[in-house]
Chains A and B, each alone.
Chain A
Amino acid sequence: MTGRRLLLPLAAALLALPWGVGGYVTYLLTLTFIYALVAIGMNLLTGLAGQISLGHAAFFAIGAYATGLLTQRGLLPFPLALLAAALLSTGIGALAALPALRLRNLYLAIATLGFGTVVQKALFEWRGLTGGGAGLELAPPHIAGLVLNNGRALYYVALAVLALGLWCAGNVARMRTGRAMLMLRDSEIAAGTLGIGIARFRVAAFALSTFYAAIAGGLYAYLVRYINPESFGLGLSISFLGMVVVGGLGSRAGPVLGAVFFVLLPEAFRGIKDAPGLVFGLALVLAMIFLPRGLAGIAPRSWRLT
């Protein structure tokens, strides 16, 4: 149980970290947590249910805009706005993706890619609501009367949500829904003849993953406090998928490791001109060649979800 024993020191380190590092590093870590949340959801969809999405930036965006607008217009306090935005995003996702769920693999990937493009376009065009290309500026959020006006506060909120998200995903993975998703990934006929409703669990996997993406989007909106449709393009969707694959499909720690890889690695080479993209690209290729089971492949087995 190496995983277990590492947990306590890791938690202590994460709690202490914002007091030892500068504001920028705190920001980067918070961003890592947020991306990790998206990746955890994508891992349920891709790692467990075997479906590929290239449109999750859209759900991340809907979460960000809805959370921002609901709080900014004083309709809901921040925590409730996060939840409402996630439910909205999940609803839109389920509706829009329902026809696409009849599709498999690459076909679903292309359909979700189309969905992502449409949402981004809508954010640009619906100026009255979203501010269009000019973007949306947000004042710091409140939680129970407390103003979260520094980076540390949001760091802790994101860390707590990440921990909860990891725990919930782990529960799903080892129970009824998780087993059903794995079965339909590997054999639809075996799943179906055992009484597992194929359509139902594909929708469940998709809905769960959009929920995670939207919650993360809501946190992201308040991390950057200025959102713009440009930030939610295809590149981001691909990065989300990349995090899950690089981290290790179907593993518990994988999505987090993938997010670390995508956020922190390019930062490490920031000083050198042109280096971040180059090194990152190279590292991506090397990781896939030498770690076919992802970064989590080098982690202890007890970290695996399945």
Chain B
Amino acid sequence: MSGLAITRLTVRFGGLTAVRDVGFTAAPGRILGLIGPNGAGKSTLLNCISGITRPSAGSIRLDGTELAGLSMHRIAARGIGRVFQHPELVAGFTALDTLRAGCHRDLHYGLLAELFALPAARRQEAAARHRALAALDAIGLAADADRDMALLPYGHRKLVDLARSLMAAPRFLLLDEPVAGLNDAEIDRLADMLRELRDVRGLGIVLVEHNMALVARLCDEVVVLDAGRVIAHDVPQAVLRDRAVMAAYLGEAPADA
């Protein structure tokens, strides 16, 4: 019951079946790697969990509650965080604005309080600003607070994006290729952050990643998708030795199959 349980999930786009009968459970306090060749259906699967794409069949349950069919913001409210492969920029947003936007669900003042900047609104905004600055400080980007997101180095942008999704204190975090485009130092920093989230905050993490070295050192278990199907689900060491997995990556049938 506990955890994020995917059962018999299928997603069709017209004639194409991007995800086929997929099932696995992500547990809190664990990092589950989701790997597979390009077009395997990894992002589609994350989009389904986040409510961006409607599944054609199957279920997604969080601690027993069905998420499939809910709208994005309801799913977010239940504790599913999402980080996109490429940071989604908002024109004119600074790093600080970006993180304050992540505080959205913690701000409870009404529209009237907002229109007239009543004390309730001011107080909560000040608290959000404070939290946002602290979060920037924690990822070592305090100096970027007032800089335009579009002008930040790509690696900083991705870190800010991750920090934003954490402002809402999710219980499960879905990450789509978080280290693509980062340099080695940035990858190490991000890996440390993810480990801490898992070990200290007890977050459940689903990590889509092509960087196998990172998958091997970070993940507690790995699910391999190929053409929408699960072809392996095991600890990283076993999965990365699996011939069928290697074959899927190399795009050829195993020699002895």
Contact = CB atoms under 8 A, between A and B. Distances in A.
B201 interface: no
Contact count band on B: 35 or more
A194 B90 contact: no
A183 interface: yes
A83 to B, nearest CB: 13
A225 interface: no
Interface stretch (A2-10, A26-34, A61-69, A167-175): A167-175
A275 to B, nearest CB: 38
B248 to A, nearest CB: 28
Contacts of A180: 101, 104
Contact of B104 (A168, A196, A250): A196
A273 interface: no
A192 B101 CA distance: 11
B133 interface: no
B152 to A, nearest CB: 16
Nearest to A184: B90
9 contacts: A171-B121, A175-B114, A180-B104, A186-B91, A193-B52, A194-B73, A194-B76, A304-B92, A306-B93
B49 to A, nearest CB: 10
Interface string B167-196: 010000000000000000000000000000
Given A168-B115, A176-B114, 19 more contacts: A171-B121, A175-B114, A176-B121, A176-B125, A179-B97, A180-B104, A182-B91, A182-B92, A186-B89, A186-B91, A192-B52, A192-B73, A193-B50, A193-B75, A193-B165, A194-B168, A195-B77, A196-B73, A198-B71
Contacts of A198: 71-73
Contacts of A161: none
Contacts of A150: none
Contact count band on A: 20 to 34
B231 to A, nearest CB: 28
B130 interface: no
B36 interface: no
Most buried by B among A176, A185, A189, A204: A176
Contacts of A182: 90-93
Contacts of B89: 186-187
B81 interface: yes
Interface of B: 50-52, 71-73, 75-77, 80-82, 84, 88-93, 97, 100-102, 104-105, 107, 109, 111, 114-117, 121, 125, 164-165, 168
B116 A171 contact: yes
Interface in A146-172: 168, 171-172
A190 interface: yes
Contact of A194 (B91, B92, B97, B104): B104
Contact of B114 (A172, A183, A187, A195): A172
A192 B52 CA distance: 8
Nearest to B108: A176
A189 B76 contact: no
A197 interface: yes
Nearest to A251: B92
A177 interface: yes
Given A186-B89, A187-B88, A189-B88, A171 B115 contact: yes
Contacts of B93: 182, 306
A189 B46 CA distance: 12
Contacts of B117: 171, 175
B251 to A, nearest CB: 30
A191 B121 CA distance: 21
Interface string A291-306: 0000000000000101
Nearest to B87: A190
Contact of A179 (B80, B104, B105): B104
B205 to A, nearest CB: 15
A187 to B, nearest CB: 4
A176 B90 contact: no
A193 B90 contact: no
Nearest to B78: A195
A153 to B, nearest CB: 25
Contact of B101 (A168, A171, A183, A204): A183
A204 B111 contact: yes
